[in-house]
C-alpha cells in the first residue's frame, strides 16, 4: 500500500512508558532513536510533557516530562531526519512551558483529550501552533462517546489551525467497520486536516484496524516496536512497515532493535495478548480492571475475571 | 454479528497436533470436548485420518489417525450436540477406510488439498459424501496459486455434492482486501455451497480476516483455543466467540479451559506471535524456513533470518 502522504509515528517510549513509569534508560532511548532513524520512520514520540507540580519528579522517569534539554542529550551527534513528537494531556496542563519550535528539538505536539475537555485541548493546541509546532489532537476513548458530542468536538476542531486529528481506540474495542465509520466521520467533519489512527491490540485488531484506517485515507499511523504499550499494547511497527510498500522504510534495523532490546525488556514487563485485556476490550471497558487483576495472584483466572466484569456492568 | 447460519469449527486438536505430533492426552481431548460442548461450538476437529502405511503408528499420536473407536472412547458418556470433524489430505490417501456415517462418531470430513490435487480431492469427497458425511474441501496455500487454475478448481467443485469449500490462508499472507476478493470469488463460482475461512495468525490478522470473511458471507469459521496451531497458530476461538453475538455461544467454559489447559501447554510448546513466522507470512512464504530457524540457537536473530529469506527469494 504505497501512498506518499503516509507518515508513521513510533510511540514506543511514550506508550511503553505507561508500563515502566517512563523510566527507559538513556541508552535504550538513544538506540531506539538510531534504529528508527535508519528505518526511515517519520516521527518518534518520546513521552509526555507533564506538569511537575502534578507529577513530582522523584516519582517518574525522564520521559514523563520530556524536557527539551533531555531530548537534546539523547539525540546529540546522531544524524537523522526523524521528527520528534511529545504528548500533553489537555486536562493536566499546569505550568508546563514550551519554547518556540525553532528553539526546541520537538517538531510535533500531540494534545491528548477527552471530548469533554476539547476546549482545553483547543486552547493548548492554538498556543503551541502559534509557537511554530506541528499539532495533533488525539481524542481518546471514542468507543464510549456519544456521537452528538463527538461531532460537536470535531466541528470545533475544524475551526482551528490543528494539523492532525487522531482516532484513538483507547479500549481496544473497535473492529473494522467501526474504524471505517469513524475515519469517514472525521474526514467529513475535518476538511483539509490529516486523520491519524492509534489502535490498541486487546483483541489482536490493532494492525488490521490500522490497515482499515489506511484504506479510508488516514495518513498518520501510530505503532510501536514489538507492539509495546500498556496492557495489550499497540499496532506492531514491524507489521506496519512490512505492510507499507513505501521504499523509504527499512525493516532490518527494527528487527535488530527488537531482538536486542525488546526481547530482554519483555522478560521484565508484560504486554501483548493477555486475556483480561482481551475481555475489557471485548466489553468496551477501560483496562483498569484488567491492570488491577494482573497484579493479583489470581491473574490467570480468566473465567472468574470475566464473570466479575459482567457483574460489574449489570 | 448475529447470523443464524454461522457455524464455528474448533481445530485445536487437529491444527495443534501439528506441533506436538498429534499426541494430546486423552484427558486433554476429553476436557476440550466437554468445554466446547458447553460453549455451544458447532464442530470440533479431532485430527487427521492418515494412512498407517505412509505414517507408521509408532511415530505419531492417536490424532494422526482418528480411528472411530478412539474418538468413541473419548466422547463416551458425555452429553453433547457438538459435531465432530476429521481432516484427510487428498494427496496422501492410501488405505484409509471410512465407515458409513451412521456407524461413525464423525459428522464431517474435511478434505485438504492443493489446487493441483483437486481431482484426488473430488474423488475422495464424492466417496465420503456417498457414505453420508458432511463434506468440506479445503484448498490450501491459495495465496500462491494462480487465479486461472484456482477458478478451474472452483468450477469443478461446483459440480460436486461437496457442502462447504474453505478459503485457507496457509501462509498467513492475506490481508483484508484479499480475503474479501477471495470469499467473493468462491461465492461467485460455488453457487449454493457454504464458504468457510481458515486463517493463520502470522501477521496478527487471523481474527480480523475471519471477521472479513463473515462480512462477505462466509458462514463456516475455523478457530482454535488460545489460537493454538503450527507456528503463529490460528484465529483465537475466544476472540471469535466474543465477537459473534449469537446467544447459543458461551465464553466462560472456553476461558476456563484456556486457564487450566492451554497455559500449561504453552510452557511446553510454542505458538503465537513469533517474528520468523511474521516474516514468512509477510513475504507470502511457507513457514518451513521459520520452523527450521526456530530449532537453532539463532532462533531470535530476526534481522539475520529476514536477510536470509530475502536472499533465498532472489
> pLDDT tens digits for B36-45?
999 999 999 9
DSSP secondary structure string, B66-96? Answer: --HHHHHHHHTT-----EEEEEEEGGG-SS-
Would you say how long chain B is, in residues?
314
Q: Cell numbers of A25, please?
A: 534508560
CB spacing of B259 vs A303 below 8 angstroms? yes
CB spacing of A303 vs B242 below 8 angstroms? no
Q: Cell numbers of B60, please?
A: 505419531
pLDDT of residue A289: 96
CB spacing of A258 vs B302 below 8 angstroms? yes
Q: Which residues, 6+ apart, have CB-to-CB distance to A70 below 8 Å?
A: A62
Q: Cell numbers of A116, please?
A: 469533554
pLDDT of residue A1: 65
Nearest to A232 by CA among A265, A199, A201: A201
Confidence of residue A2 (pLDDT cuts 50, 70, 90): confident
What is the rounded CA–CA span in Å between residue B113 and residue B274? Answer: 27
A195 backbone dihedrals φ, ψ, rounded to 5°: -105, 135
What is the rounded CA–CA span in Å between residue A219 and residue A194? Answer: 6
CB spacing of B208 vs A206 below 8 angstroms? no
pLDDT of residue B156: 98
What is the rounded CA–CA span in Å between residue A300 and residue B28? Answer: 19
A258 contact B CB<8A: yes
* Assembly ipTM: 0.96
Preferred mutation among B173, B282, B303 to probe A, highest tally of A CBs within 10 A: B303
Confidence of residue B1 (pLDDT cuts 50, 70, 90): low
CB A261 within 8 A of CB A237: no
pLDDT of residue A98: 97
Strand, coil or helix: what is A32?
A: helix
**Nearest residue, CB atoms, A239 vs list B204, B300, B302:** B204
CB spacing of A205 vs B201 below 8 angstroms? no
Check residue A145 and report its DSSP letter: S
CB B131 within 8 A of CB B98: yes
Chain B residues with CB-CB distance to A236 below 8 A: 204, 273
Cα of first residue to Cα of last residue in chain B, in angstroms, is 44
The domains of chain B, with CATH numbers, are 7-268 (3.20.20.70), 275-313 (no CATH)
Say whether pLDDT at A27 is over 80.
yes
pLDDT of residue A266: 96
CB spacing of B203 vs A306 below 8 angstroms? no
Q: Which residue of A has its CA nearest to B301?
A: A259
Question: What is the maximum alpha-carbon separation in chain A?
Answer: 57
Question: What is the maximum alpha-carbon separation in chain B?
Answer: 57
CA triple B210-B177-A229, angle to 5 deg: 65
Confidence of residue B2 (pLDDT cuts 50, 70, 90): confident
What is the rounded CA–CA span in Å between residue A285 and residue A269? Answer: 23
CB spacing of A302 vs B209 below 8 angstroms? no
Q: Which residue has the higher pLDDT, B314 or A80?
A: A80
- B207-222 per-position pLDDT tens digit: 999 999 999 999 999 9
Question: H or E segment at A195?
Answer: strand A194-199
pLDDT of residue B43: 98
Q: Which residue of A has its CA nearest to B263?
A: A300
Strand, coil or helix: what is A66?
A: coil
B286 backbone dihedrals φ, ψ, rounded to 5°: -55, 145
Which positions 99-158 of B are in contact with A (Cβ < 8 Å)? none
Nearest to B265 by CA among B19, B9, B47, B14: B19
Say whether pLDDT at B314 is over 90.
no
B201 contact A CB<8A: yes
Q: Cell numbers of B233, please?
A: 497458530
Chain B residues with CB-CB distance to A209 below 8 A: 208
CA distance to partner chain A, nearest, from residue B168 (Å): 18
Chain A residues with CB-CB distance to B177 below 8 A: 215
Percent of chain A with pLDDT over 70: 99
CB spacing of B208 vs A208 below 8 angstroms? yes
Chain A residues with CB-CB distance to B209 below 8 A: 208
- B238-280 per-position pLDDT tens digit: 999 999 989 999 999 999 999 999 999 999 999 999 999 999 9
Say whether pLDDT at B64 is over 70.
yes
Q: Which residue of A has its CA nearest to B209?
A: A208
pLDDT of residue A313: 78
Cα of first residue to Cα of last residue in chain A, in angstroms, is 44
B269 contact A CB<8A: no
- B69-103 per-position pLDDT tens digit: 999 999 999 999 999 999 999 999 999 999 999 99
CB spacing of A207 vs B204 below 8 angstroms? yes
CB spacing of B259 vs A302 below 8 angstroms? yes
Chain A residues with CB-CB distance to B174 below 8 A: none
Count Cβ–Cβ pairs < 8 Å, chain A vs chain B: 107
Mean pLDDT of chain B: 97
CB spacing of B275 vs A263 below 8 angstroms? no
Which residue has 484488567 as its cell numbers? A290
A255 contact B CB<8A: yes
For residue B66, how far is the Cα from the chain centroid? 15
Confidence of residue B14 (pLDDT cuts 50, 70, 90): very high
What is the rounded CA–CA span in Å between residue A152 and residue A157? Answer: 9
Q: Which residue of A has its CA nearest to B204?
A: A204
**Nearest residue, CB atoms, A275 vs list B207, B258, B279:** B258
Which residue has 493463520 as its cell numbers? B200
Check residue A58 and report its DSSP letter: G
- A230-277 per-position pLDDT tens digit: 999 999 999 999 999 899 999 999 999 999 999 999 999 999 999 999
- B165-175 per-position pLDDT tens digit: 999 999 999 99
CB spacing of B177 vs A205 below 8 angstroms? no
Strands B108-113 and B134-139 come out as: parallel
Q: Which residues, 6+ apart, have CB-to-CB distance to B295 below 8 Å?
A: none
Confidence of residue B313 (pLDDT cuts 50, 70, 90): confident
HSE-up of residue A14 (Cα within 13 Å, Cβ side): 28
Task: Count CB atoms within 10 A of the CB of residue A78.
Answer: 11
**DSSP bridge partners of B200:** B234
B198 backbone dihedrals φ, ψ, rounded to 5°: -130, 110
B310 contact A CB<8A: no
Strand, coil or helix: what is A80?
A: coil
Preferred mutation among A306, A308, A310, A311 to probe B, highest tally of B CBs within 10 A: A306
pLDDT of residue B245: 85
Amino acid at each position: 500500500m504505497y501512498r506518499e502522504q503516509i507518515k508513521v509515528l513510533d510511540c514506543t517510549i511514550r506508550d511503553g512508558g505507561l508500563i515502566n513509569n517512563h523510566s527507559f534508560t538513556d541508552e535504550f532511548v538513544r538506540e531506539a532513536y538510531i534504529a528508527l532513524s535508519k528505518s526511515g520512520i517519520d516521527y518518534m514520540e518520546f513521552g509526555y510533557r507533564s506538569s511537575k507540580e502534578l507529577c513530582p519528579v522523584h516519582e517518574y522517569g525522564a520521559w514523563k516530562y520530556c524536557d527539551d534539554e533531555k531530548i537534546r542529550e539523547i539525540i546529540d551527534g546522531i544524524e537523522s531526519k526523524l521528527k520528534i513528537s511529545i504528548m500533553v494531556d489537555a486536562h493536566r496542563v499546569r505550568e508546563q512551558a514550551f519554547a518556540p519550535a525553532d528553539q526546541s528539538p520537538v517538531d510535533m505536539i500531540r494534545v491528548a483529550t477527552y471530548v469533554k475537555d476539547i476546549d482545553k485541548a483547543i486552547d493548548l493546541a492554538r498556543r503551541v501552533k502559534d509557537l511554530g509546532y506541528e499539532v495533533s489532537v488525539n481524542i481518546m476513548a471514542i468507543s464510549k462517546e456519544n456521537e452528538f458530542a463527538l461531532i460537536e468536538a470535531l466541528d470545533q476542531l475544524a475551526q482551528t489551525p490543528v494539523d492532525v486529528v487522531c482516532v484513538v481506540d483507547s479500549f481496544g474495542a473497535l473492529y473494522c467497520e467501526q474504524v471505517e465509520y469513524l475515519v469517514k466521520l472525521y474526514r467529513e467533519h475535518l476538511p483539509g486536516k490529516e486523520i491519524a489512527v492509534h489502535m490498541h491490540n486487546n483483541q489482536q485488531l490493532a494492525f488490521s484496524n490500522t490497515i482499515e484506517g489506511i484504506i479510508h485515507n488516514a495518513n498518520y499511523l501510530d505503532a510501536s516496536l514489538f507492539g509495546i504499550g500498556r496492557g495489550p499494547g499497540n499496532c506492531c511497527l514491524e507489521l506496519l512497515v512490512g505492510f507499507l510498500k513505501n521504499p523509504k522504510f527499512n525493516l532490518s534495523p527494527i528487527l535488530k532493535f527488537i531482538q536486542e532490546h525488546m526481547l530482554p525488556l519483555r522478560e521484565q514487563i508484560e504486554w501483548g495478548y493477555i486475556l483480561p485485556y482481551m475481555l475489557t476490550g471485548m466489553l468496551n471497558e477501560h483496562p483498569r480492571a484488567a491492570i488491577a487483576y494482573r497484579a493479583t495472584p489470581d491473574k490467570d483466572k480468566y473465567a472468574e475475571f470475566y464473570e466479575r466484569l459482567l457483574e460489574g456492568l449489570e
